[in-house]
Structure formats: C-alpha cells, structure tokens
Amino acid sequence: MKLALSVIWLVFAALFLILGRWHWIESKSAMPPFELTKREMDRPDSGVRFKIDIGGTPLDKPLADFVKDFNEYLSAQNDTSRKANLRAAWGYFVAALTALFSMFLQWLEPFQRWKSSRKPCAC
C-alpha cells in the first residue's frame, strides 16, 4: 500500500513540476509591440512627397496616437501575464515539493519502527 501511495505522490510531483515549468516558459513570452505600416508613397525611397491634413491635423495623427496607446496597453498586459505565470509556476513548484514531502513522511514512520526494532549486538 505504501508503495502505491509513493507512486501516486511521485506522479503528482512530476505533474506539478511539468505544469510549473510550462508556466515558467510562458512567463518569458510577450506580445510584440504594434507597428503602423507606412504608406507606400510616404517612404523616403519613393521620391514622392505629400502631406494631407484634415482640419489642421495630419491624417495619420489619430493612428499614431492609437498605436502609442495600444502599445502601452500591450505592455501592461504583458507585465500582468508575466507576473501571473510566475506566480502559477512557483505555486506548482511548491505543490511538487509538498507532494515529495508527503511521500517522505509516509515512509518515515515505518523507517523509525524498523530502526527502533533493531537490537544492539550483544557480542
């Protein structure tokens, strides 16, 4: 019975370690910043220059403002996701250690009984 429980605790520990490692890897991934695509004729190598204003505001100003705001949002989301994944990873690592400690505890009592049953040699 103790061997079966040990295998179960070991399986749980392995599962928790795998999940912790997965969250650890996920904490390192992030969404890249959003970039506004340049218009074909607005590139320096096109040779054509033009400027379009609507009501005194450059045409691409609202888009540039959106890109700036959206990238700030992405940065905040990346930070939140990284922290959440790190917390989950550490939680799984602690759970794996708890499972291994539980496996150790179930073998502690029989070991202590075996140790106390050994009689010193009366040689």
- Which residue ranges make up each domain of the chain? 2-117
Q: Which residues, in sequence order, are bridge partners of residue 53?
A: 58
Q: Report H helices in 29-60.
A: none
pLDDT of residue 121: 63
pLDDT of residue 109: 75
- DSSP label at 28? T
Check: CB of residue 9 under 8 Å from CB of residue 103. yes
pLDDT, tens digit, 9 for 90 and up, residues 29-47: 999 999 988 766 666 666 6
pLDDT, tens digit, 9 for 90 and up, residues 43-68: 666 666 666 777 777 777 888 899 99
Tell if the pTM clears 0.95, that is, is over it.
no
